[in-house]
Amino acid sequence: MMRVAGTFAALLTLSACATMERVLPQDEPRIDATLEAIQNARVRECPPGRRLENARIGSDNESRGVTGDEIALVPLASDPQRGVRLRRLTIAPGGAIAWHAHDVNQGMALIVSGEMVEFRNSCMDEIRYRAGDVAREDADTAHGWRNESNEPAVLLVMQVVAR
């Protein structure tokens, strides 16, 4: 898992480098949202005392308002049949990612901008994510997401997948 986490960090850094600085009218560089989210990344989890196996069994049945781009797919040295995939997802206001399980593809998601609400099988409460928050998606995770805000949300999602 450490190799995967290291690969995730490297891919996020590379994806951020292309847009790391923007030039403002006064020719002053500033750090963009992607780099800021990476620098301030922290895992967001179910609140203490609110974990419960099979606490939820579903949310939205269909995804809506979601667009995505594959940024990279890197083969795993230890298993050439699998790779680490990095995707950028944009979820429109009112959009949703349908309930799904991660028994096959494990990974993590970094909220780059905007806000998302996660409905997770192991938490009695919805979990709110903001820029810089990371969701872990282990083999026991089943969940759905919703953008309940008025702004688009952008996520970088890394998963170990079959090639």
- pLDDT tens for 113-155 read 999 999 999 999 999 999 999 999 999 999 999 999 999 999 9
Give the mean pLDDT of 31-40: 78
Q: pTM to 2 decimals?
A: 0.78
Contact assessment for residue 153 and residue 118, using Cβ atoms and an 8 Å cutoff: no
Range of the domain at 110: 2-162
Q: Under a CB-based contact definition with an 8 Å cutoff, are residues 113 and 153 in contact?
A: yes
Structure-token match 């606490």, residue found:
55
- The CATH number linked to 83 is 2.60.120.10
Q: How many domains, in total, are found in the chain?
A: 1
pLDDT single digits (tens) 60-84:
889 999 999 999 999 999 998 999 9
